Structure 1
Amino acid sequence: MIKVIDYQAAQPFRRFTPSRPTTIPRSPLRLSLATIRIRIPSGATINRVELIATVGVHGVTGTSQILFRIFRDGREIFNTQVGIESDSESEVNYVETFQAIDFNVGQGTHVYQVTAQNLTSGTEAAVVGPVSFSGLATTHKG
Protein backbone atom coordinates (compact mmCIF):
# COMPACT_ATOMS: atom_id res chain seq x y z
CA MET A 1 0.00 0.00 0.00
CA ILE A 2 1.30 3.47 -0.92
CA LYS A 3 0.85 6.23 1.67
CA VAL A 4 1.36 9.97 1.14
CA ILE A 5 3.68 11.32 3.85
CA ASP A 6 4.15 14.92 2.64
CA TYR A 7 3.30 17.25 -0.22
CA GLN A 8 4.66 20.75 -0.80
CA ALA A 9 4.44 23.17 -3.70
CA ALA A 10 5.70 26.60 -4.64
CA GLN A 11 4.52 28.82 -7.48
CA PRO A 12 6.54 32.04 -7.45
CA PHE A 13 5.26 33.07 -10.92
CA ARG A 14 1.67 32.14 -11.73
CA ARG A 15 1.50 33.34 -15.31
CA PHE A 16 3.41 34.23 -18.46
CA THR A 17 4.72 37.78 -17.96
CA PRO A 18 7.07 38.80 -20.79
CA SER A 19 7.11 42.41 -19.51
CA ARG A 20 9.00 41.26 -16.37
CA PRO A 21 11.82 38.94 -17.56
CA THR A 22 14.46 37.61 -15.16
CA THR A 23 17.74 36.94 -16.99
CA ILE A 24 19.17 33.44 -16.54
CA PRO A 25 22.80 34.01 -15.52
CA ARG A 26 25.81 32.56 -17.30
CA SER A 27 27.29 29.46 -15.65
CA PRO A 28 28.74 28.99 -13.06
CA LEU A 29 26.19 31.46 -11.62
CA ARG A 30 22.64 30.17 -11.39
CA LEU A 31 19.16 31.51 -10.77
CA SER A 32 17.16 29.97 -7.93
CA LEU A 33 13.65 29.42 -9.28
CA ALA A 34 11.79 27.79 -6.36
CA THR A 35 12.38 26.02 -3.05
CA ILE A 36 10.25 23.53 -1.10
CA ARG A 37 10.74 21.56 2.12
CA ILE A 38 9.71 17.91 2.38
CA ARG A 39 9.52 16.04 5.69
CA ILE A 40 10.28 12.33 5.87
CA PRO A 41 9.12 10.83 9.19
CA SER A 42 11.03 8.13 11.07
CA GLY A 43 10.08 4.65 9.94
CA ALA A 44 9.48 5.69 6.31
CA THR A 45 12.66 4.00 5.09
CA ILE A 46 11.17 2.79 1.81
CA ASN A 47 10.12 6.08 0.28
CA ARG A 48 10.35 8.30 -2.73
CA VAL A 49 9.93 11.99 -3.43
CA GLU A 50 8.47 12.81 -6.83
CA LEU A 51 9.50 16.30 -7.95
CA ILE A 52 7.92 18.23 -10.83
CA ALA A 53 9.08 21.62 -12.09
CA THR A 54 7.61 23.87 -14.78
CA VAL A 55 9.48 26.95 -16.02
CA GLY A 56 8.44 29.45 -18.68
CA VAL A 57 11.46 30.84 -20.56
CA HIS A 58 12.08 33.29 -23.40
CA GLY A 59 14.98 33.34 -25.87
CA VAL A 60 16.51 36.84 -26.00
CA THR A 61 19.67 36.45 -28.14
CA GLY A 62 21.25 33.45 -29.85
CA THR A 63 20.49 29.85 -28.90
CA SER A 64 21.03 29.42 -25.18
CA GLN A 65 21.67 26.03 -23.61
CA ILE A 66 19.88 26.18 -20.27
CA LEU A 67 20.84 23.74 -17.52
CA PHE A 68 18.07 23.09 -15.00
CA ARG A 69 19.20 21.44 -11.76
CA ILE A 70 17.42 20.09 -8.69
CA PHE A 71 19.24 20.02 -5.36
CA ARG A 72 18.40 18.22 -2.11
CA ASP A 73 20.01 19.89 0.91
CA GLY A 74 22.51 21.64 -1.37
CA ARG A 75 23.56 18.48 -3.27
CA GLU A 76 22.58 18.07 -6.93
CA ILE A 77 20.31 15.07 -7.48
CA PHE A 78 19.03 15.78 -11.01
CA ASN A 79 19.75 17.89 -14.09
CA THR A 80 18.48 18.37 -17.60
CA GLN A 81 19.44 20.68 -20.44
CA VAL A 82 17.37 22.41 -23.12
CA GLY A 83 18.11 24.73 -26.05
CA ILE A 84 16.21 28.02 -26.13
CA GLU A 85 16.16 29.87 -29.47
CA SER A 86 15.67 33.62 -29.95
CA ASP A 87 15.14 33.77 -33.71
CA SER A 88 12.01 35.82 -34.40
CA GLU A 89 11.12 33.45 -37.25
CA SER A 90 10.86 30.51 -34.84
CA GLU A 91 9.42 30.04 -31.39
CA VAL A 92 11.01 32.19 -28.66
CA ASN A 93 8.72 31.32 -25.71
CA TYR A 94 8.95 27.90 -24.08
CA VAL A 95 7.38 26.11 -21.14
CA GLU A 96 9.73 23.42 -19.89
CA THR A 97 8.41 20.73 -17.54
CA PHE A 98 10.58 18.00 -16.04
CA GLN A 99 10.30 15.39 -13.33
CA ALA A 100 12.81 13.79 -10.96
CA ILE A 101 12.39 10.99 -8.41
CA ASP A 102 14.49 10.86 -5.25
CA PHE A 103 14.48 7.37 -3.69
CA ASN A 104 14.92 6.32 -0.04
CA VAL A 105 15.49 9.76 1.42
CA GLY A 106 16.63 9.82 5.05
CA GLN A 107 14.29 10.94 7.81
CA GLY A 108 14.03 14.63 8.63
CA THR A 109 13.19 17.81 6.74
CA HIS A 110 14.88 18.23 3.37
CA VAL A 111 15.19 21.38 1.27
CA TYR A 112 14.68 20.91 -2.48
CA GLN A 113 15.63 23.69 -4.85
CA VAL A 114 15.31 24.06 -8.63
CA THR A 115 17.75 26.36 -10.47
CA ALA A 116 18.61 27.49 -14.02
CA GLN A 117 21.87 28.61 -15.61
CA ASN A 118 22.91 29.52 -19.15
CA LEU A 119 25.81 27.39 -20.49
CA THR A 120 26.31 29.31 -23.77
CA SER A 121 28.40 32.48 -23.91
CA GLY A 122 27.16 35.32 -26.10
CA THR A 123 23.50 34.33 -25.67
CA GLU A 124 20.71 35.40 -23.38
CA ALA A 125 17.53 33.77 -22.11
CA ALA A 126 15.11 34.85 -19.41
CA VAL A 127 12.48 33.37 -17.13
CA VAL A 128 9.09 34.89 -17.98
CA GLY A 129 6.83 32.47 -16.09
CA PRO A 130 5.01 30.57 -15.05
CA VAL A 131 7.25 28.83 -12.51
CA SER A 132 6.02 26.00 -10.28
CA PHE A 133 7.79 23.31 -8.24
CA SER A 134 6.15 20.53 -6.27
CA GLY A 135 7.20 17.49 -4.30
CA LEU A 136 5.14 14.46 -3.29
CA ALA A 137 6.65 12.12 -0.70
CA THR A 138 5.23 8.61 -0.43
CA THR A 139 6.11 5.45 1.42
CA HIS A 140 5.38 1.83 0.58
CA LYS A 141 4.08 -0.37 3.34
CA GLY A 142 3.77 -4.04 2.54
Structure 2
Amino acid sequence: MVRLIDYQASEPISMVNNNNPIAIPHTPSLTVLATIHITIPRKNAKKNHVELIATIGVRGVSGTSQILFKIFRDGKQIFTAQEGVESDPTSEVNYIATFQAIDTNLAKGSHFYELTAENITNGTEAAVVGPISFSGLAVAHDDSKSDL
Protein backbone atom coordinates (compact mmCIF):
# COMPACT_ATOMS: atom_id res chain seq x y z
CA MET A 1 0.00 0.00 0.00
CA VAL A 2 1.18 3.54 -0.76
CA ARG A 3 0.27 6.46 1.50
CA LEU A 4 0.76 10.21 1.08
CA ILE A 5 3.09 11.63 3.74
CA ASP A 6 3.84 15.14 2.43
CA TYR A 7 3.19 17.43 -0.52
CA GLN A 8 4.81 20.80 -1.17
CA ALA A 9 4.70 23.10 -4.19
CA SER A 10 6.25 26.38 -5.24
CA GLU A 11 5.16 28.62 -8.10
CA PRO A 12 7.38 31.71 -8.11
CA ILE A 13 6.13 32.76 -11.56
CA SER A 14 2.61 31.78 -12.63
CA MET A 15 2.58 32.94 -16.26
CA VAL A 16 4.76 33.87 -19.22
CA ASN A 17 6.16 37.39 -19.03
CA ASN A 18 8.64 38.23 -21.78
CA ASN A 19 8.96 41.79 -20.39
CA ASN A 20 10.77 40.66 -17.21
CA PRO A 21 13.21 37.91 -18.23
CA ILE A 22 15.60 36.35 -15.71
CA ALA A 23 18.96 35.80 -17.41
CA ILE A 24 20.27 32.23 -17.11
CA PRO A 25 23.94 32.41 -16.11
CA HIS A 26 26.68 30.42 -17.81
CA THR A 27 28.26 27.40 -16.14
CA PRO A 28 29.70 27.18 -13.51
CA SER A 29 27.27 29.81 -12.19
CA LEU A 30 23.61 28.88 -11.82
CA THR A 31 20.37 30.44 -10.66
CA VAL A 32 17.96 28.95 -8.13
CA LEU A 33 14.47 28.95 -9.65
CA ALA A 34 12.40 27.38 -6.85
CA THR A 35 12.70 25.57 -3.53
CA ILE A 36 10.53 23.22 -1.49
CA HIS A 37 10.83 21.36 1.85
CA ILE A 38 9.59 17.79 2.25
CA THR A 39 9.30 16.15 5.67
CA ILE A 40 9.67 12.41 6.16
CA PRO A 41 8.32 11.05 9.47
CA ARG A 42 10.52 8.65 11.43
CA LYS A 43 8.15 5.72 10.84
CA ASN A 44 8.46 6.20 7.05
CA ALA A 45 12.26 6.49 6.86
CA LYS A 46 13.81 4.39 4.08
CA LYS A 47 10.38 3.14 2.89
CA ASN A 48 9.41 6.11 0.76
CA HIS A 49 9.95 8.06 -2.39
CA VAL A 50 9.48 11.67 -3.43
CA GLU A 51 8.15 12.44 -6.89
CA LEU A 52 9.47 15.83 -8.03
CA ILE A 53 7.94 17.66 -11.00
CA ALA A 54 9.29 20.88 -12.50
CA THR A 55 8.03 23.15 -15.28
CA ILE A 56 10.06 26.12 -16.47
CA GLY A 57 9.31 28.58 -19.28
CA VAL A 58 12.48 29.73 -21.06
CA ARG A 59 13.29 31.97 -24.03
CA GLY A 60 16.21 31.98 -26.43
CA VAL A 61 17.90 35.40 -26.51
CA SER A 62 20.91 34.78 -28.79
CA GLY A 63 22.27 31.67 -30.49
CA THR A 64 21.20 28.15 -29.54
CA SER A 65 21.62 27.63 -25.82
CA GLN A 66 21.73 24.34 -23.95
CA ILE A 67 20.10 24.84 -20.56
CA LEU A 68 21.04 22.42 -17.80
CA PHE A 69 18.41 22.06 -15.09
CA LYS A 70 19.44 20.48 -11.79
CA ILE A 71 17.66 19.34 -8.67
CA PHE A 72 19.55 19.33 -5.38
CA ARG A 73 18.45 17.61 -2.17
CA ASP A 74 20.03 19.03 0.98
CA GLY A 75 22.81 20.56 -1.15
CA LYS A 76 23.62 17.37 -3.08
CA GLN A 77 22.82 17.16 -6.80
CA ILE A 78 20.40 14.27 -7.47
CA PHE A 79 19.06 14.96 -10.99
CA THR A 80 19.83 16.77 -14.26
CA ALA A 81 17.88 17.48 -17.43
CA GLN A 82 18.91 19.45 -20.51
CA GLU A 83 16.87 21.54 -22.96
CA GLY A 84 17.99 23.20 -26.20
CA VAL A 85 16.66 26.74 -26.72
CA GLU A 86 16.89 28.63 -30.03
CA SER A 87 16.67 32.40 -30.48
CA ASP A 88 15.72 32.61 -34.19
CA PRO A 89 12.75 35.05 -34.29
CA THR A 90 11.42 33.32 -37.43
CA SER A 91 11.14 30.11 -35.43
CA GLU A 92 10.22 29.25 -31.86
CA VAL A 93 11.91 31.26 -29.11
CA ASN A 94 9.73 30.40 -26.08
CA TYR A 95 9.93 26.88 -24.66
CA ILE A 96 8.43 24.95 -21.75
CA ALA A 97 10.68 22.37 -20.11
CA THR A 98 8.86 19.85 -17.93
CA PHE A 99 10.50 16.90 -16.23
CA GLN A 100 10.05 14.49 -13.35
CA ALA A 101 12.58 13.02 -10.92
CA ILE A 102 12.09 10.35 -8.26
CA ASP A 103 14.12 10.41 -5.06
CA THR A 104 13.93 7.16 -3.07
CA ASN A 105 14.52 5.90 0.47
CA LEU A 106 14.96 9.22 2.23
CA ALA A 107 15.98 9.38 5.87
CA LYS A 108 13.60 10.86 8.44
CA GLY A 109 13.45 14.62 8.80
CA SER A 110 13.11 17.71 6.64
CA HIS A 111 14.68 17.70 3.18
CA PHE A 112 15.37 20.86 1.19
CA TYR A 113 15.03 20.64 -2.61
CA GLU A 114 16.33 23.29 -5.02
CA LEU A 115 15.60 23.62 -8.74
CA THR A 116 18.36 25.43 -10.67
CA ALA A 117 19.25 26.41 -14.24
CA GLU A 118 22.50 27.22 -16.03
CA ASN A 119 23.49 27.82 -19.65
CA ILE A 120 26.24 25.41 -20.74
CA THR A 121 26.77 26.91 -24.24
CA ASN A 122 29.32 29.73 -24.46
CA GLY A 123 28.45 32.71 -26.67
CA THR A 124 24.69 32.27 -26.31
CA GLU A 125 22.06 33.82 -24.07
CA ALA A 126 18.78 32.48 -22.68
CA ALA A 127 16.34 33.62 -20.03
CA VAL A 128 13.58 32.32 -17.80
CA VAL A 129 10.30 34.01 -18.73
CA GLY A 130 7.88 31.82 -16.79
CA PRO A 131 5.98 30.05 -15.66
CA ILE A 132 7.99 28.24 -12.99
CA SER A 133 6.47 25.50 -10.87
CA PHE A 134 8.17 22.90 -8.68
CA SER A 135 6.39 20.30 -6.58
CA GLY A 136 7.23 17.29 -4.46
CA LEU A 137 4.91 14.46 -3.47
CA ALA A 138 6.25 12.14 -0.75
CA VAL A 139 4.67 8.71 -0.38
CA ALA A 140 5.36 5.88 2.05
CA HIS A 141 5.41 2.19 1.18
CA ASP A 142 3.73 -0.21 3.59
CA ASP A 143 5.02 -3.72 2.96
CA SER A 144 2.33 -5.31 5.11
CA LYS A 145 -0.33 -4.67 2.46
CA SER A 146 0.03 -5.12 -1.27
CA ASP A 147 -2.66 -3.02 -2.94
CA LEU A 148 -0.20 -1.75 -5.57
Classify the TM-score, shorter chain. over 0.9
Q: Deviations over 1:85-140 (max 9, x none)?
A: 00112100001100000000111000000000000111000000000000000001
Partner of 2:47: 46
AA aligned opposite 2:116? T
**CA–CA distance in structure 2, aligned partners of residues 53 and 23 of structure 1:** 18
Partner of 2:74: 73
Identity of aligned residues (%): 58
Partner of 2:134: 133
Partner of 1:8: 8
Q: CA RMSD in A?
A: 0.5
**CA–CA distance in structure 2, aligned partners of residues 64 and 86 of structure 1:** 8
Q: Deviations over 1:5-47 (max 9, x none)?
A: 0000000000000000000000000010000000000021210
Query: Number of residues paired by the alignment?
Result: 142
For structure 2, the 5+ residue unaligned runs are 144-148
Partner of 1:88: 89
AA aligned opposite 1:7? Y
Secondary structure at 1:43's aligned position in 2? helix
Partner of 1:63: 64
> Which is higher, the Rg of structure 1 or of structure 2?
2
| Runs ≥4 residues deviating over 2 A | none
Within 5 Å, give how 1:2-41 maps onto structure 2: 2-41=2-41
Partner of 1:110: 111
TM-score (norm. length: structure 2)? 0.95
